[in-house]
Amino acid sequence: MKRKSTSVQSTVQAYLFLAPALILLAVFSFWPVGYGTYLSFTKYNLISAPEWVGLDNYRELFDDELFLNSLKNSLLYLLCVPIIQVLSIALAVLVNNNLKGIKLFRAAYYVPVVTSVSVIGLMWNFMYNDEGILNSVLQALHMINEPIGFLSDDRIALFSVMFVTIWRGLGWYMVMYLAGLQAIPQDVYEAATLDGANGWQKFWKITVPLLMPTILLCSVLSTLAALKAFEEVQIMTQGGPSESTYTALFYAYQFGIKSLDFGRGLAASTIVALVCMALAWVNFRYLQPRQK
């Protein structure tokens, strides 16, 4: 009886400690998500009261070619995920070596992470310009005759923005993989060396399996970040040229915030949230380390 009373007391204490965080989570996360989902079934323009319209907003979205193209671009943005993961792991393995000047190298790759996205967007706008440094270098090397419209050609503008996203995120994921690599016990590598394993075998048989929890975390985070791509589009292209760089979240912003059609904007956001949850489940399903 005394043991049961102590257990209940411990549980109550635990919930009391968690209460401030749970209240903040409920007020600033769960309530906005719930109320936003409700508004996605209404017509609401911030002035008049919300009017229930059922699934009309969702029907309009799937009849809107611009939204379908935006959703396709968001899914295309997922190409960033495997690229950024492979490059981050390669960089982490490289900077995990005790080489001369390696700390400076690590810091240099982390600079884009702590730099304002506005500054990054302006810098890459300048570099992508017809008379910017990229076109100047390519022309000087006689690789092109005419400037490439990195942000003005609707066939490649989205990929140009995606490249900036990859460049900006490399340092962040590199640091996470570096922490994962340094948590692997060195005696495992020493034992493999005594067994005659070469560097490639140690990477695939030791590094990758023991790095799987970090790979799962980074894959989930980068998948969600890719689907929620917004800042680079807003600063670099404003959805242009010819609406070719619209992403689903940028579409939601355009209709929800700029056009004050909150119902439609929130319906688009809800669809993005559902796709995010589905892809997060896929990551957990296929990348979660198996216990043997």
- The tokens describing 7, both together, are 């257990």
Supply the pLDDT for residue 4. Answer: 66
* CA-atom Rg of the chain in angstroms: 24
Integer angstrom CA distances of residue 50 from 24, 44, 53, 173, 262: 26, 5, 9, 42, 9
Residue with tokens 């899914």: 75
Residue 3 confidence (pLDDT): 63
φ/ψ of 42, rounded to 5, equals: -130, 165
pLDDT at residue 192 in the model:
92
Q: Which helix (H) or strand (E) holds 159?
A: helix 157-182
| φ, ψ dihedrals at 52, nearest 5° | -65, 125
pLDDT tens, the chain, 292 aa long: 566 677 788 888 888 999 999 999 999 989 999 999 999 999 998 888 999 999 999 999 999 999 999 999 999 999 999 999 999 999 999 888 887 878 888 888 888 888 999 999 999 999 999 889 999 999 999 998 899 999 999 999 999 999 999 999 999 999 999 999 999 999 999 999 999 999 899 999 999 999 999 999 999 999 999 999 999 999 999 998 999 999 999 999 999 988 999 999 999 999 999 999 999 999 999 988 766 5
Question: Which has the closest alpha carbon to 270: 66, 75, 55, 78?
Answer: 55
Q: What confidence score (pLDDT) does residue 291 get?
A: 62
Q: 279 with 193: CB under 8 angstroms?
A: no
Percent helix, strand and coil across the chain, each rounded to 5?
75, 0, 25
CA distance 32 to 111: 33
Distance, in Å, from the CA atom of 86 to the CA atom of 107, rounded to the nearest integer, reads: 19
pLDDT tens digits, 93-114: 988 888 787 888 888 888 888 8
Distance between CA atoms of residues 238 and 250, nearest Å: 9
Q: Provide the pLDDT for residue 161.
A: 95
pLDDT at residue number 2: 60
pLDDT computed for residue 35 by the predictor: 94
Predicted local confidence at residue 292, as pLDDT: 57
Q: What residue ranges do the domains of the chain occupy?
A: 66-287
Q: What Cα–Cα distance (Å) separates residue 77 from each residue in 64, 175, 235?
A: 20, 22, 17
Of the candidates 243, 255, 248, 246, the residue with the CA atom closest to the CA atom of residue 273: 248
Fold of 66-287: MetI-like fold (1.10.3720)
Instruction: Convert the pLDDT of each residue in 208-229 to its tens digit.
Output: 999 999 999 999 999 999 999 9
**51 φ/ψ angles, rounded to the nearest 5 degrees:** -115, 120
* Cβ proximity of 252 and 266 under 8 Å: yes
